Amino acid sequence: MSFRLRLTFFGAALVALTLLAFGWLVYALVANSQATAQDDGLKHRAADALTSILTAPASELNGTAGPSLSGAEDLRQRTDPFTEILTAAGAVLSATGRVGSAPPAVPGSLLDAAARGGALATVDAPGSPQLRLYATAWTRTDLGLGGYVVAGQPTSIQSENLKGLRGFFIVSSIPTLLAAFLASWLITGRALRPLKSVVETADSIARTRDFKRRLPPAKRSDEIGLLSGRFNGMLDQVEAANQQLTVALEAQRRFVADASHELRTPLTTIRGNADLLAQGPAVDEEVRREAARDVASESERMSRLVERLLTLAQADAGQHLELAPLALRPLIDSVFRQAQAVHEDRRFHNVGLTDATIAGDADAIIQLLWILVDNGAKFTKPGGSVEIGLRQHDSTALLTVADDGIGVAADDRERVFERFYQADQARSNNGTGLGLSIARWIVEEHRGAISVRNNTGPGCTFTVSLPLAG
């Protein structure tokens, strides 16, 4: 069963329940009002009879003439109201209604209650229809007579009226329900039309993979319009995610290709020199020493490359550094001293180191310092200088590493932080192109930023900003 048909049945069912509740309420009100109206009518009829008794001759009231049933209607066949006059002893003087050949029976308890004031009762005597009776006392003080006036009517008149009302409700409910069903069908069709457009658009996107397609702008501000807007928003996110996935897959493909290329070079060198060394004594001693040095050098470079690839793989896997309060100056002093020993042909200077404490990872910060220091030493000529500085600005620690080398072209200042990117052959200097990528990841893990600018003179300056520990 379709959703539209279910909604249509639901709407028709609501209308049916409403009609049922409304009909029951009207039926109850009519039934109650009919009983009240019948009682009021009987009271008025009894009052009219009392008025007539005030002017009636004594012969009609003393009971000597016997009961008068002339013109009385049989209550088993008619439902008209009747009046019955009784003496104080309960003998019938006259009646306008009868049951067969006898006047309607009036219970003594009703007459006793009537003596104390008007009384109502429903009487269900054998062989007689159920009657609603009202009794009240009458008195003729001028004649010394008294008795009772009883006004009554069969209760079946109420049933007949209510039966007609029930028939009206049943007959009128059929076209009403049909009209409600048709109206619900049309309304739900109109309301669900935008949802059909959503389904068609989703099917088209799934079939064509065209993530740029959108639903027409919603002209309505109800839930359907809100759904259309949210659907378009979801498509925006899907398109963005698809673009990110495409870029990520392309970067992964490029990463694998570049890594293969970078690993192929040292492996080729190592294999060539190994073949050369395998020739034994036939190779000159000096050549063998050079080949051994090349094998060691390329092995070291390949080891660094693999280590940095593993670091970047850790970053790609979403692993994060554990940060703790960390003083920067002792780490800078340690790397500064070691760098002077490693790069003996370079001059290292500090340009004012202040004390600064950050939330950081000591091993990662040391790796960051070595990447920047090695980078500065790599791109300066022998005898060149590398300067390291540390100062505080507001709530940030600013670490700078400057060199007097060849600098960085304006177009390359952002790209130097990409993996395997090397600006040109002059600046590549047999590097892997991974160091600054790792440096940026370490800085970002410390919620900081890294940038590079060219100096006024030769060389460039890398600036790392890290938030101070709270």
- Mark whether 368 and 306 lie in a shared domain: no
Number of domains in the chain: 3
What are the CB-based long-range contacts (under 8 Å, 24+) for 89-95?
90/148, 91/63, 91/67, 92/67, 93/60, 93/61, 93/63, 93/67, 93/68, 93/147, 94/60, 94/67, 94/68, 94/69, 95/67, 95/68, 95/69
pTM over 0.75: no
Q: How far is CA 210 from CA 47, 130, 249, in A?
A: 91, 81, 19
Query: Which stretch, 90-94, 197-201, 209-213, 262-266, has highest mean pLDDT?
Result: 90-94
Query: Would you say residue 183 lies in a domain?
Result: no
> Residue 469: which of 319, 372, 328 has the closest Cα?
328
**What is the pLDDT at residue 428?**
46
- The answer, yes or no, to whether residue 69 has pLDDT greater than 50, is yes
Q: What are phi and psi of 298, to 5 degrees?
A: -70, -35
Closest CA to 377 of 417, 412, 335, 419: 335
Same domain? 99 vs 121: yes
Specify if 73 maps to a domain. yes
CATH number of the domain that residue 61 is part of: 3.30.450
Residues 44 and 133 in one domain: yes
Closest CA to 376 of 263, 456, 458, 442: 458
Same domain, 295 and 336: no
Q: Do residue 413 and residue 376 come from a single domain?
A: yes
Provide DSSP, 277-345: HTTGGGS-HHHHHHHHHHHHHHHHHHHHHHHHHHHHHHHHTT--PPPEEEEHHHHHHHHHHHHHHH-TT
Residue 394: inside a domain = yes
Which CATH number do you get for residue 343?
3.30.565.10
Question: pLDDT tens digits for 363-396?
Answer: 889 889 988 998 888 888 888 999 999 999 889 9
Please report whether residue 196 resides in a domain. Answer: no
CA distance linking residue 301 with residue 3, whole number of Å: 67
Question: Looking at the domain assignment, is residue 175 inside a domain?
Answer: no
Question: Residue 201: inside a domain, yes or no?
Answer: no
Provide the domain limits for residue 434: 321-467
| 13-25 pLDDT, tens digit each | 888 888 888 888 8
The answer on 424 and 288 residing in a single domain is no
